[in-house]
Structure 1
Amino acid sequence: MGEIGIEEGGRKVVHLQFGSSPSGNYTIRLHEAFLAYGYDSYVLSLYSEVVGDPRIVSLGAFGKNVRRLNQKIQDYLTRNKPKESGAFSLSLLGSDISNHPVVRQSDVIYVHWVLGGFLSVRNLKQLASLGKPMVMILHDMWTITGGCSYSFDCDKFLTHCGNCPVFPEDKEVDTSYKQYEEKMEFYRSFRNLFFVSPSHWLADLAKRAEITKGKPVYRIPNPIDQNLFKPFDKSVAKGILGLAAYDYVICFGANKVHSPYKGWTYLKDAVVKLKSELPNKEIVMLVFGSAASEEISEAIPFPIKFMGFIRDDYTTNLVYNASDVFLAPSLADNLPTTIIESLCCGTPVVGFETGGIPEMISHKSNGYIAAYRDADDFCKGIVYCLERKLVGKLLPEYQVDVIMDQHASLISYMEQEVYDNGQS
C-alpha cells in the first residue's frame, strides 16, 4: 500500500467512519471544520460515496467482504429480536487498519460509527495500542450499552447489561452481557481513550454508566457549515419547488417510516388533528429521505411532495428554506443533524422532549418542545410555530467557532495526558 502524503503544519487527525457521503454526514462536516481551522484531517471509511477527494479514503474489496460476512452472522444471531427494540449491533468481525497510512501518520484518532463489519472491539484495541490519543464519539448509546443503539426505558447499562429484552432466552449472561464485558475491559485497559458526546443528555449517561466509570467524558456538539446552511427568501425557495400556492409548508424527514425511533404514529395523529385545527389553510407536506409512499399519502390529509433521498446539501438547504416548520417526532435520538440544519436555515422545529432534542430547541422561541409521545401537544406545537411565524435560530453553543475551540482544547489536553504522562 503506497504512502498517502500528509501536509506539514497542523495536527494530523484521522476520522474513522463506516460510510462517507456528500450529504448530511456528521463525520465529513467535522473533518471539513478541522481542515478549515488548520488541522491536517483525513477520513477513513469502509464505504465512500465521495468522489475525487484524496483526503476521504475507503477500504478495498477485502474489507467489504468482511462486512458482508459480519452482517450475515449478526442477522442470524439477532433473528428473534423484537422490532420495537430498535438496532442492536454486535462487535463480530472487522478489519485491522492500525497499519493504514492515514492511521499510522496521524497524531489523533477520532472514532465515529464504525460497526457493521468495519471495526470490531478487537480492531479498536489494535488502534488504541498505537498509543495515540483516541476519541470515542458517542453518536448513539452503543458505546455504553451491551449493544443497543438506544435503550428506551431500560437502564441496565448503568450497572451491567444482561438478560436483555432484545434476546428472548431469559439468560443473565447473554450476548449483551458478554459484549458489555468486552467493551468495559477494553476501556479500562487504555489510558489514551477519551469519550465525547454531542449532547449533554448522552454525556451525562456516559458519566453515570459503570462501563465508562472513571473515564474522561466531554460534551462537544456536531458542527455545521453555516456558509451553506443559511436562510434565504422563503417565497423564492417555495417557488423553486412549485409550492408557492400554499399557505404553509410543513416538512418531515424519514428514511424508514416504521423505525422505532422516528415516531411516525404520533406524527400521523398530530397532522390529522392539524387539519381540523387549521381548516381554512392550504397546507402541503414535504417529505425527504423516503421515496413516494402510498402509506404516507393515505395517512396524511394534505398534499405531499416526496423529495426522495437527497444526496447533496444544496437541495437539503432548499427544502428547509421552503418549509415553515420542520417536524422531528423522534422517540429516541442524540443530537439530530436535521434539527441543526433546519434551525440554521431559519426554520423552526417541533420535537418531543427526549434525548438531546430539548438542548437544541428553546421552547416557543426557535421551536416547540412537545410532551413525550403526546400527539395533541405535538400538533399544538405545529400550530404555535405557524401562526406566530416563528423563526428558527441556531443557539450560540452550536456555532462552529465555539465547537472547534472545544476540540482544540481537548486535543491539547489529550496530547499532554498521553505524551507527557505516558500510557499504562
Structure 2
Amino acid sequence: MKILHVNTNDIQGGAARAAYRIHKGLLEKNIYSRLIVLNKKSDDYSVINMGKTKKQKLIYKIRLFFDEKLKSFYRKRKRTTWSVNFFDNNELVEFINDSDFDIINFHWINASMLSIKDIEKITKPIVWTMHDMWPFTGGCHYSNSCILYETDCNKCNQLDDKKNTFLSKYILKRKYICYKNISYISPSKWLANCAQNSFLLKDSNIQVIQNGVDLEIFKKLDKSFSKNVLNLDMSKKYILFGAMNSTSDKRKGYDLLKKALEILKKEFYLKDVVLLIFGANKPQYNEDLGFEVKYLGQISDDVTLSLIYNSADVFIAPSREDNLPNTIVEAISCGLPCIAFNIGGMPDLIKHKKNGYLAKPFDIKDLAKGINFVLEDENRWNSLSENALNKAQRDYDINVVSDKYIDLYKKILGRDDK
C-alpha cells in the first residue's frame, strides 16, 4: 500500500502539522507514505517539494496572484480566509496520475495547491481529510454561522455582495461537477455534521477520525523542570494562549480573551498570574491586560511546545469557530486542563468540568469563571489534569489514529494487506 498526502505546507499551520503527523504515523506502521507540498520547511526526506525550482516558484506565484485577483472584484469583502482554487496545477496532476501511489490523501490544498478542476482529473482514489469547511462551501473556510452552503452559496456574506454572488455560487457548482471518487474524513463530529448537511456532501460517507499526536513527545513532564528550561518564574501561574497568528486572527478570539482577563482581574482577584502567548511576537505598544504578558513568538518545534504546555496551568482556546485544534490535543496530552467556548469541535476534546471547562458561547464572564474554576483549587486541578491525560491516551495517540486511516485505506482498496 502506497499513500500520497497532499498539503500546501509540511509543518507550517494547523492542517500541515496534522497532515505531517498522520504521514509520520503511517511510516511508523511500515506503510509507504509520502507528503507532497508547495512550501517545504522541514528537511524530511519523505516530504516531496513541488516548489523548489525557480520555474515552479514562479508558476505558483502566478497562479496565486490570479486566484487572489478574482476576489478583488468584491471590494467590501471581509478579510477572512476565502479560497478560489481556480487555476490548474497540471504538473502535480501529472505527477499523481503517473505515480504508483494507491491512494491520494488530500488535506489543505488551498493557496493554489490544486484547482477544483484538478480534482476531477486525478484518476486514483481520493481520501480527503477536511481541516475546515472549504471542501463543501463556495469559498469560505469557516462560514461564521452562515448555512448557505446547505443550498447554493448565493449572496455570500463574506464577499459582502448584496446582489447575487456569482463567484461563490460558481465555485460550489464547479465542485459539484468535479467531485468524484472521494472518501471524506472529518477530525470532529461538528465538521462531519456540517458536511453531511451541505449541498455538496449530503450523500457522501464521512468518517470521523481525530487528529493525533506523538504521546512520546506530548506527555506530562515535571512542571518545575519545564519552567526552568524556559526560564519561567517558579512562583507564578501561567495562563497559556496560542495558535497560528494567535493575536491577529479574529477567529481565534484573542479580543474575547482580553475582555475575560479584565473580568478575571476585577472579580476573582487572582494573584501571581502571567499570560503566556505563543504564535505571536511582542507588539510595538504594550497592552494593559491587568496581568503580566510574556510572548514566545512562533513555535514550530514539538519538543519546545511540550515544554510550554507543561509549564502552564491552563490553556485557553477562545475561538469563535474551530474544527479540532491541534493545540488542545497537544495540551491535554501534556495533562493541561483546557478552556474553550462550547462551539465546533471543542466538545469532542473538552468534557465540561471533567478535563477542562466549556464556556457558553461567547460569554466572556463565563470564560473568566472557567479560568478561575481551573486555577483556584489544587486538588481539582490534579483531577482535571489526570482526566485530560486519560482522554488523550484513549483518543489522540497517533498510533491509534494511523490505524484508523489504514483500515479506511484497506476498505477503499478492497484488500487486507499493508
TM-score relative to the length of structure 2: 0.90
The 8 Å contact of residues 246 and 282 in structure 1, kept in 2 or not, is answered as yes
**Structure 2 counterpart of 1:325, which letter?**
V
CA displacement 1:333-371 (0-9 Å, x = unmatched): 100000000001111110011110111001111111001
| 1:334 aligns with one of 295, 303, 323 | 323
The 8 Å contact of residues 78 and 159 in structure 2, kept in 1 or not, is answered as no
Partner Cα distance (2:96, 2:256) in 1: 48
1:238-257 pair list within 5 angstroms: 238-254=227-243, 255-257=245-247
Of the structure 1 ranges 223-232 and 21-30, higher mean CA displacement relative to structure 2 is found in 21-30
**2:119 corresponds to which residue?**
124
SS at match of 1:19: coil
**2:45 corresponds to which residue?**
54
1:59-74 pair list within 5 angstroms: 59=50, 60-74=53-67
SS at match of 1:261: helix
Partner Cα distance (2:238, 2:346) in 1: 22
Matched, 1:264 2:231: no
The 8 Å contact of residues 164 and 174 in structure 1, kept in 2 or not, is answered as no
Partner Cα distance (2:288, 2:142) in 1: 27
1:89-238 pair list within 5 angstroms: 89-96=83-90, 97-100=92-95, 104-127=99-122, 130=123, 132-172=124-164, 174-187=166-179, 190=180, 192-238=181-227
Of the structure 1 ranges 256-265 and 157-166, higher mean CA displacement relative to structure 2 is found in 256-265
**1:407 corresponds to which residue?**
405
Paired residue total: 399
SS at match of 2:306: helix
Q: Report the CA distance between 1:216 and its aligned residue.
A: 1.8
Partner Cα distance (1:157, 1:34) in 2: 33
- 1:112–1:313 Cα change, 3 Å: same
Q: Report the CA distance between 1:63 and its aligned residue.
A: 3.3
Q: Report the CA distance between 1:103 and its aligned residue.
A: 6.7
Matched, 1:35 2:33: no
- 1:160–1:91 Cα change, 3 Å: same
Partner Cα distance (1:106, 1:336) in 2: 29
- 1:40–1:157 Cα change, 3 Å: same
The 8 Å contact of residues 47 and 58 in structure 1, kept in 2 or not, is answered as yes
Partner Cα distance (1:212, 1:402) in 2: 27
- 1:26–1:304 Cα change, 3 Å: same
Partner Cα distance (1:412, 1:339) in 2: 30
Q: Report the CA distance between 1:412 and its aligned residue.
A: 1.5
Of the structure 1 ranges 338-347 and 276-285, higher mean CA displacement relative to structure 2 is found in 276-285
Partner Cα distance (1:335, 1:61) in 2: 36
Matched, 1:398 2:396: yes
Partner Cα distance (1:85, 1:177) in 2: 19
Of the structure 1 ranges 400-409 and 81-90, higher mean CA displacement relative to structure 2 is found in 81-90
Of the structure 1 ranges 370-379 and 215-224, higher mean CA displacement relative to structure 2 is found in 215-224
TM-score relative to the length of structure 1: 0.89
The 8 Å contact of residues 14 and 103 in structure 1, kept in 2 or not, is answered as no
Partner Cα distance (1:136, 1:175) in 2: 23
The 8 Å contact of residues 89 and 149 in structure 1, kept in 2 or not, is answered as yes
Q: Report the CA distance between 1:260 and its aligned residue.
A: 2.7
Partner Cα distance (1:400, 1:258) in 2: 30
The 8 Å contact of residues 220 and 403 in structure 1, kept in 2 or not, is answered as yes
- 1:345–1:149 Cα change, 3 Å: same
Q: Report the CA distance between 1:150 and its aligned residue.
A: 0.5
Matched, 1:374 2:363: yes
Partner Cα distance (2:170, 2:316) in 1: 38
CA displacement 1:165-216 (0-9 Å, x = unmatched): 12344333510000000001112xx2x2101111111111111211113222
- 1:355–1:89 Cα change, 3 Å: same
The 8 Å contact of residues 313 and 375 in structure 2, kept in 1 or not, is answered as yes
- 1:101–1:281 Cα change, 3 Å: same
Partner Cα distance (2:89, 2:64) in 1: 14
**Structure 2 counterpart of 1:75, which letter?**
E
The 8 Å contact of residues 78 and 160 in structure 2, kept in 1 or not, is answered as no
**1:5 corresponds to which residue?**
none
User: CA RMSD for the aligned pairs?
Assistant: 2.0
Q: Report the CA distance between 1:324 and its aligned residue.
A: 0.3
1:286-365 pair list within 5 angstroms: 286-294=276-284, 297-365=286-354
Of the structure 1 ranges 37-46 and 206-215, higher mean CA displacement relative to structure 2 is found in 206-215
The 8 Å contact of residues 103 and 109 in structure 1, kept in 2 or not, is answered as no
Q: Report the CA distance between 1:244 and its aligned residue.
A: 2.8
SS at match of 1:315: helix
- 1:335–1:374 Cα change, 3 Å: same
